[in-house]
Structure 1
Amino acid sequence: MYDLAAPFFLLLLPLPFLALRLLPPRDPAEGALRLPEGIAAEAAPVQAARRWRGPRRGLAWLAWIGLVLALAGPVRLEPTRDTRATGRDIMLALDMSGSMLTEDFDLDGAPVSRLDAVKRVAGRFVTERPGDRIGLVLFGDRAYVAAPLTWDLAAVGRAIEEAGVGVTGRSTAIAEGLGLALKRIIAADGRARVIVLLSDGRDTANRLDATGVARLAAEHGVRIHTIALGPADLESQPSDREAVDTATLRAIAEASGGKGYRVRGTADLVAMAADLDRIEPNPSGRPPVLVPRPLWPWPAALALLAAAALGALPLLRLPRLRRGFRAESPA
């Protein structure tokens, strides 16, 4: 698709034609050079002028049209994915406790550990959020910032891939992880701030109240969405040591105005991602924008070449004049 940035310049196209029609004719030049008859006949200025009149006019019009088109600013509109910032800051809080090594998760029909499932879910989430600023907090017995809020989603993805259990201890300090994520996201200047917590939901550190952190987040306008990973939960299987505490994660989400998700396998993962994109609109789902690519150098170059050729036309008559002078010199 093509367009003009300043189409009103096209109104200048008929200007030379109007000047030729409306302006009075130019007075003939006086003081012509007197030449011997032989030289004058050989030079044939009148015939030469008539012979070059057509090419001169064509080149002049070509230079003028190229100049006007360059001023009009032709552009080619190329569809490009809209990656403009949405003003949304998202902090991911990932559980790196020892229980995340339990291989009780079904992903794409194959048994994997909860850690691998967390990495798959978080990595997919990050890659599908171009235009948002994303950070990463890892927590086990303690919490630390693995990636600050950044537009570099590839760096966040690498931090997720390199995360491992045991770096920060093998306990599950959910409240500390949420607290650190909340501290970083409050300090940012984003208008929409979100925390996404992925965990098995069993806070074994018990140093802080996770729901209290969620209520504090709500006071600062920060929503927390929780994702509980694992096939079993404490509500239905309270005796299972590896069961997911979905009630705690759901309470955290509700206290902050967010939403809690239960993910047992691939189908739940797809449904969660679609619903989360609906709640926190994904900028990659926007229709493509048309980015203008300037094309004015092409008509400008055409105008320059035509003007150069127009200036070179008189030089083509010099050899003929020189032959005339040599023909008359013996006389």
Structure 2
Amino acid sequence: MPAWFTAFLSAFDLAAPLALLLLPLPFLAARLLPPERMGSSGALRVPATVVMGSARGDGVAARGRGRSFLIWTLWAALVAALAGPRLVLPATALPASGREIMLVMDLSGSMERRDFAIDGETVTRLTAVKRVGTDFIRRRAGDRIGLVIFANESYVAASPSFDTNTVARALDEATIGLVGRSTGIGDGLGLALKRLVPATSGEASDIPQATSKVVVLMTDGANNAGQTTPRDVAALAKELGVKVHTIALGPRDMSNADGEQDVVDAETLREISASTGGTFFRVKTTDDLIAMADSIDAIEGGRAKAPPVPLRQDLWPWPAGLALLCAAGLLVARRKA
């Protein structure tokens, strides 16, 4: 047999195979039901000689055979439609992890500094973060992932979603100055916790709760804006069971600033990650940035193939359409009779 026919047979299925038991029902009715008694019908009995005089016998017989064919085809098509023929097609199994990850990214003015390099060209810190971050996001298929950006103010650039391409696009479109130019680390982290743990606000959700909630916090400065302090929000994260990975961005920090302004507070970030069970990363170059993304991807691994959901393509409209055509043919034949 041709390969396409074999594939069709292997994918063919019936939603209600027991409906096929209805096929012999007209035969059983003809056998088991009592015949109609003479005189019980209102039809007029016409002598055979009259019938033969009005139409040739072979024409009557032909019309009778054609009508019987339409009736039986109609019945078989209806039964086939009731059986629910369909094709069960294989579906690609998607990775699933049960994790919910919020990326919290600094968008202060210091992210404009040109001290990173990509392909031998000096670029801003934000450009390097976008290049590595969008790749990291797209690799996290199977996670619900979102994005919070912060400076003077904080806002959710992308709500937690399985659509990693949309979240990556939101990161790529982030612009310095959109929410100010200062560094409100505490408020950014607090907003991420609010979106990760909506149950604290009494909101109901149809989305299953993630088994692991993670924040990836990246900044190149020290907290100098907002209403909360990073350490206080870290204590809340620990209480809520949210793990926070922290990334200190930039070649210098407060321990070796040498008079440079707006350097990263690496010590506070290290304390945040340690108190919440996360990991601290010190990123000074683009290579460090890439290594950091790979490390977090490995730490938050454990993705497995979710059970594939079979895709079903219904075929019942085809026999149902055939039954409709047969019914139309019987109606036309009756009008011509």
Residue matched to 1:5: 15
Structure 2 unaligned blocks of 5 or more: 1-10
**Are 1:32 and 2:32 an aligned pair?**
no
**SS of alignment partner, residue 289 of structure 1:** coil
Counterpart CA distance in 2 for 1:107 and 1:78 is: 44
Q: Percent identity?
A: 43
The residue identity in structure 2 corresponding to 1:278 is G
Residue matched to 1:329: none
Residue matched to 2:113: 102
1:271 to 288, 291, 294: 294
Residue matched to 1:205: 224
Counterpart CA distance in 1 for 2:292 and 2:307 is: 25
1:148-297 → structure 2 map (5 Å cutoff): 149=159, 151=161, 156-157=167-168, 159-187=170-198, 191-192=209-210, 193-200=213-220, 202-205=221-224, 209-230=229-250, 232=251, 234=253, 241=260, 248-261=268-281, 264-265=286-287, 267-268=290-291, 271-272=294-295, 274-275=297-298, 278=301, 281=303, 286=306, 288-297=308-317
Counterpart CA distance in 2 for 1:302 and 1:262 is: 70
Counterpart CA distance in 2 for 1:59 and 1:273 is: 68
The residue identity in structure 2 corresponding to 1:5 is A
Q: Is the CA contact (8 Å cut-off) linking 2:186 and 2:223 kept in structure 1?
A: no
Q: Cα distance, 1:239 vs. partner?
A: 5.2
Structure-2 change in CA distance of 1:101 and 1:50 (3 Å): same
With normalisation by structure 2, the TM-score equals 0.71
Structure-2 change in CA distance of 1:94 and 1:102 (3 Å): same
Residue matched to 2:55: 43
Structure-2 change in CA distance of 1:86 and 1:247 (3 Å): same
Q: Cα distance, 1:80 vs. partner?
A: 5.3
Structure 1 unaligned blocks of 5 or more: 319-331
Counterpart CA distance in 2 for 1:86 and 1:220 is: 20
**SS of alignment partner, residue 33 of structure 1:** coil
The residue identity in structure 2 corresponding to 1:305 is L
Which is worse superposed, 88-97 or 28-37? 28-37
Structure-2 change in CA distance of 1:126 and 1:81 (3 Å): farther
**Are 1:17 and 2:30 an aligned pair?**
no
How many residues align? The count is: 309
Higher Rg of the two aligned structures: 1
Which is worse superposed, 64-73 or 254-263? 254-263
Residue matched to 1:59: 70
Q: Cα distance, 1:195 vs. partner?
A: 2.2
Q: Is the CA contact (8 Å cut-off) linking 1:133 and 1:149 kept in structure 2?
A: no
Q: Is the CA contact (8 Å cut-off) linking 1:118 and 1:198 kept in structure 2?
A: no
With normalisation by structure 1, the TM-score equals 0.72
1:299 to 295, 298, 319: 319
Q: Is the CA contact (8 Å cut-off) linking 2:154 and 2:187 kept in structure 1?
A: no
Q: Cα distance, 1:247 vs. partner?
A: 5.2
Q: Is the CA contact (8 Å cut-off) linking 1:226 and 1:252 kept in structure 2?
A: yes
1:46-77 CA distances to partner (integer Å, 9 max, x unpaired)? 53343234333332222112111221223333
Structure-2 change in CA distance of 1:133 and 1:35 (3 Å): same
Which is worse superposed, 105-114 or 11-20? 105-114
Q: Is the CA contact (8 Å cut-off) linking 1:73 and 1:294 kept in structure 2?
A: yes
Q: Cα distance, 1:191 vs. partner?
A: 2.5
1:242-288 CA distances to partner (integer Å, 9 max, x unpaired)? 87665543432232233345564375266246325516x48xx6465
The residue identity in structure 2 corresponding to 1:92 is L
**SS of alignment partner, residue 278 of structure 1:** coil
Q: Cα distance, 1:307 vs. partner?
A: 2.0
Q: Is the CA contact (8 Å cut-off) linking 2:158 and 2:170 kept in structure 1?
A: no
1:115-154 → structure 2 map (5 Å cutoff): 115-127=126-138, 134-140=145-151, 142-147=152-157, 149=159, 151=161
Residue matched to 2:3: none
Q: Cα distance, 1:234 vs. partner?
A: 4.9
Q: Is the CA contact (8 Å cut-off) linking 2:94 and 2:308 kept in structure 1?
A: no
**SS of alignment partner, residue 136 of structure 1:** strand
Q: Is the CA contact (8 Å cut-off) linking 1:69 and 1:296 kept in structure 2?
A: yes
